[in-house]
Structure 1
Amino acid sequence: MTATIARKELDDTAFARLEQEGRLLNPVLKAPTSKYGRVGFRGELALRFAPKLADEARPPELTCDQVMAVATVGDKHLPFFAGYLLSFEHLKDVAEVLGDTLSAGGKYFLFCNNIDLSKKYQVPYKGALFYVLPIDESTVYNELLTLLYLEKNDLKKKDTAGKLDAVADAALKFDVTFDTITYGEGLELMGPVRNPNENRPV
């Protein structure tokens, strides 16, 4: 598939504004998937940009990492979005950046480093419902496979787009309920923010 065709399809999805704003960063995938009418994205979502100095492009101040999301051609809402946050408080940034792409029926998963490892929550925000889950040493992809009862071996032979399709299809059927808390209650419950550079070899 040519880049022009892929770009044209992306422009007719909920990703269009995010792409125009330069928020879809470091993509492992940003293209139509094997499912008709679906465009997938795996990468980082820029939440806050650093002030620009002259022509110097600076990395964003805040990102949502390990993002997995799909959009449907002709639909202004994202049906599925998942990502990693260092701190629960940045749920607000994700919701504000995604803005009009969120819907009441969408499935949105945020794995946060500073919530209790034994807890899972539902947090209504901006008309959407976010599933907020703990993450420790794993990845968003592995956590989703566990949450959605998908077998890693079954997906091994699929390409990046195929894996995303399988995860998204399972996520769209997800209907387990967790304790519902407000964003404010989540701020009170969250733990300290871990230094991401801690224990890393220099």
Structure 2
Amino acid sequence: MTTTTQIELGDTAFGKLDAEGRLLNPVLKEPLPAPDWFGFRGDIALAFQEQLADEKRPPLYAIEQVLAAADAAAGTIPVLAGYLHSFAYLKDVGAILSDMLTPTGTYVFFVNNIDFLKKYRVPLNDAVTAYVLPLDESTVWKETLELVDIDKNDVKKLSGAEKLQKVMNMLAAFKADYPQISIDEGIAIMEPVRNRNANRPV
């Protein structure tokens, strides 16, 4: 029987992303308590700047503040939440992650430039649909806890892996009947990208 201690990053769908240099700023990158599950918290680069010699540059843009779990047995990422600075980046998400996502998975993207009162279901490909919600002065972690009705005190004493496992379990069960729009329809109505630092105290 496979145990979580035997699972390594390279055994999962995250391995391909890591090999492409897309897994950045990891806060957590380790096996989760559930058998065959591996967790990741950090950023997933979607587009890169041109590299000069050995110079390391940050990505042009990424899925930020990612909360995700990979299933090593299935070779998929069944649950993922993250922040996108622009709705248009969903096209990159669909192109880069498409083979790793599953029709039965749960994918939630908090997006900077959609109406604060709007929530959508957006197909990433022919089989996978994501939930898209607004995000302003908050974090993916806080918004996800609220979305799945987890009190922060309920996870305070858990380890990092246990916290992520609990949130991933709850998020995997999340269902909502938001209006469905295509990525192109969303791009047509998206708002200007807001300055994330505009309302923060100096």
Q: Give the structure-2-normalised TM-score.
A: 0.91
Report what 1:183 is aligned to. 183
Contact between 2:45 and 2:62, CA under 8 Å: does it hold in 1?
yes
Question: In the alignment, is the contact (CA less than 8 A) between 2:37 and 2:69 conserved in 1?
Answer: yes
What is the deviation of 1:35? 2.1
Structural mapping, 1:117-156, within 5 Å? 117-126=116-125, 127-156=127-156
Task: Using the TM superposition, give the Cα deviation of residue 117 of structure 1 relative to its aligned residue in structure 2, in angstroms.
Answer: 1.0
Secondary structure of the residue aligned to 1:180 is coil
* CA gap 1:197/1:176 in 2 versus in 1, 3 angstroms: closer
Asked whether the 8 Å contact 2:78–2:172 carries over to 1, the reply is yes
Quote the offset at 1:162 in angstroms: 1.2
CA distance in 1, matches of 2:8, 2:124: 29
Q: 2:56 corresponds to which residue?
A: 57
Q: Mark the runs of 5 or more structure 1 residues left unpaired by the alignment.
A: none
> Residues 6, 30 of structure 1: CA spacing in aligned structure 2 closer, same or farther, 3 A cutoff?
farther
Larger deviation, residues 90-99 vs 42-51: 90-99
Residue 137 of structure 2 aligns to which amino acid in structure 1? E
Aligned to 1:15: 14
- Distance in 2 between the 1:200 and 1:105 partners? 38
Q: Report if the CA contact (8 A) 2:7-2:31 is conserved.
A: no
1:110-156 deviation per Cα after TM superposition (whole angstroms, max 9, x unaligned): 00011111111000122311100011111111111111111111111
**How does 1:41-190 map onto structure 2 within 5 Å?**
41-126=40-125, 127-190=127-190
Distance in structure 1 (CA, Å) of the matches to 2:11 and 2:32: 15
Distance 2:129 2:63 in 1: 17
Q: Secondary structure at the match of 1:136?
A: coil
SS, match of residue 165 in structure 1: helix
- Report the counterpart of residue 30 of structure 1 in structure 2: 29
- Say which SS state the counterpart of residue 78 (structure 1) adopts: strand
8 Å contact kept, 2:46–2:61: yes
Q: Percent identity?
A: 49
Asked if the contact 1:14–1:75 (Cα under 8 Å) also holds between the matched residues in 2, the reply is no
CA distance change for structure 1 residues 120 and 157 in 2, over 3 Å: closer, same or farther?
Answer: same
Shift of 1:14: 1.2
Query: CA, structure 1 residues 200+146, in 2 after alignment: closer, same or farther (shift >3 Å)?
Result: closer
The 1:51/1:89 distance shift into structure 2, 3 A limit, reads same
Q: Letter of the aligned partner of 1:120 in structure 2?
A: K
Cα-Cα RMSD? 1.8
